[in-house]
């Protein structure tokens, strides 16, 4: 087993764009004045009864920023329930989204994005009327304090916003036990091939396979290199879940009952895989199986009732170093192991913001170390726990409740 690895869905794109022209601010006497400017784009990428997914893109059209806070107010009672790539808090209708360190530096004309899941009243979900960044309202232009004249930023290409593996995540874990309600159901009669972006609009996709742990089951989704699967609920039986043939993104994907594995990651070279948001339940064996090379980042995720949350293949015929970054996740027992890695191939596992629920005796093993092989034999466990080299975390990275 170790070697295998919305009413209707309203896919509303409510877009509100705001930009900023504000006078420069003198930091201290004698210092140069700063040109301030920002543009924010807000979009609802998926909506279902009681819930929605929002995406926010901030473009800095002024002088470089070393940190940022985006603020706005909802007008119809919306509430943020889960966020990624920003530390989000809400008081009444007022929302505050701050950078999380790795994405705080924004050069002139650079952009960064963050997303969130939220609730709404099923009647009205209007976009916010305006945004502010670091306390200044965005209008899209820049006021140069020397000339007073507005400038227009040149078009830019948004840089990747996926942080490097060594950075720390948002500090607020996703809610435990909060699962979306499907907006509808789509029958699956065979593996769905995905290239580009597949947005399921929070529909349940079901079913494939027999619900067993048999290796021969087909995947429900097969993602080509570079593909994105998002806003999908995978029903049971789920077969062999999701297969990624190379770099891929799984965003806001939910497994109601994991079949063989929730997702298997493959590929050669240096692929990068991202699991951002979502959750998984009832994985007798593994949730995420890493068979190929590269780095897998799992963030803003929740899982309950599983054997191993992440496993680097211990006996695949082709072996190589694999890296995993697990951050801002909530794991609820029963659950045995957070990550299993092969130290003899140089695997690394980095942990931060790990919330473990229902484990008063602290029985869940954070990081198991194995001696892997390429012969198909069962790998040998050689230890567990933080060591600063392969298993990288400290007590401050773990929260028990």
Q: What are phi and psi of 86, to 5 degrees?
A: -160, 150
**Structure confidence at residue 51 (pLDDT):** 81
pLDDT at position 209: 64
Rounded CA Rg of the chain:
22
Specify the pLDDT at position 154. 37
* Nearest residue to 293 (alpha-carbon basis) of 326, 265, 317: 265
Comparing 16 with 190, the larger pLDDT belongs to 190
Cα first-last separation, the chain? 32
- Give the phi and the psi of residue 344 in degrees, each rounded to 5: -70, -15
Q: Each residue of 243-287: pLDDT tens digit?
A: 999 999 999 999 998 867 899 999 999 999 999 999 999 888 899
Q: pLDDT tens digit string along 39-63?
A: 999 988 777 777 888 889 999 998 9
What is the predicted pLDDT for the residue at 213?
A: 52
Q: 236-272 burial, b for 16+ CB within 10 Å, e for fewer?
A: bbbbbbbbbbbbbbbbbbbbbbbbbbbbbbbbeeebb
pLDDT in tens, 98-141: 998 878 889 998 888 888 888 889 899 999 999 999 989 998 76
Q: 292 pLDDT band (50/70/90 cuts)?
A: very high
Q: Which of 70, 105, 109 is nearest to 86 (CA)?
A: 70
């Amino acid at each position: 087993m170790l070697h295998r690895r919305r009413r209707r869905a309203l896919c509303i794109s409510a877009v509100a764009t705001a930009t900023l022209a504000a006078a420069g601010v003198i930091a201290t006497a004698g210092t140069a004045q700063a040109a301030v400017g920002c543009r924010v784009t807000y979009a609802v990428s998926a909506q279902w009864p009681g819930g929605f997914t929002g995406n926010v893109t901030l473009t800095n059209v002024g002088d470089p920023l070393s940190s940022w806070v985006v603020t706005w107010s909802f007008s119809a009672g919306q509430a943020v329930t889960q966020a990624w790539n920003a530390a989000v808090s809400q008081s009444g209708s007022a929302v505050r989204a701050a950078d999380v360190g790795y994405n705080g530096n924004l050069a002139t004309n650079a952009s960064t994005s963050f997303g969130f899941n939220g609730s709404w009243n099923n009647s009205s979900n209007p976009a916010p009327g305006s945004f502010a960044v670091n306390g200044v309202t965005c209008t899209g232009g820049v006021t140069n304090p020397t000339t007073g004249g507005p400038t227009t930023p040149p078009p830019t290409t948004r840089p990747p916003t996926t942080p490097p593996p060594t950075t720390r995540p948002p500090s607020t874990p996703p809610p435990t036990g909060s699962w979306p309600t499907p907006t509808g159901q789509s029958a699956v009669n065979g593996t769905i091939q995905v290239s580009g972006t597949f947005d399921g609009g929070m529909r349940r996709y079901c079913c494939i396979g027999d619900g067993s742990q048999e290796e021969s089951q087909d995947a429900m989704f097969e993602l080509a290199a570079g593909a994105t699967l998002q806003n999908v609920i995978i029903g049971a039986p789920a077969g062999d879940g999701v297969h990624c043939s190379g770099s891929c993104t799984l965003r806001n994907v939910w497994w109601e009952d994991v079949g063989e594995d929730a997702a298997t990651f493959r590929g050669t070279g240096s692929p990068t895989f991202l699991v951002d948001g979502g959750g998984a339940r009832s994985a007798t064996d593994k949730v995420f199986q890493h068979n190929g090379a590269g780095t897998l980042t799992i963030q803003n995720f929740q899982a309950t009732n599983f054997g191993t949350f992440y496993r680097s293949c211990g006996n695949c015929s082709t072996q190589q170093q694999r890296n995993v970054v697990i951050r801002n996740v909530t794991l609820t027992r029963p659950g045995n192991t957070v990550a299993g890695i092969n130290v003899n191939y140089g695997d690394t596992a980095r942990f931060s913001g790990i919330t473990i629920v229902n484990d008063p005796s602290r029985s869940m093993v954070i990081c198991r170390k194995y001696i892997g092989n390429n012969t198909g034999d069962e790998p040998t466990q050689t230890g567990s726990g933080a060591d600063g080299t392969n298993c990288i975390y400290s007590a401050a990275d773990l929260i028990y409740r």
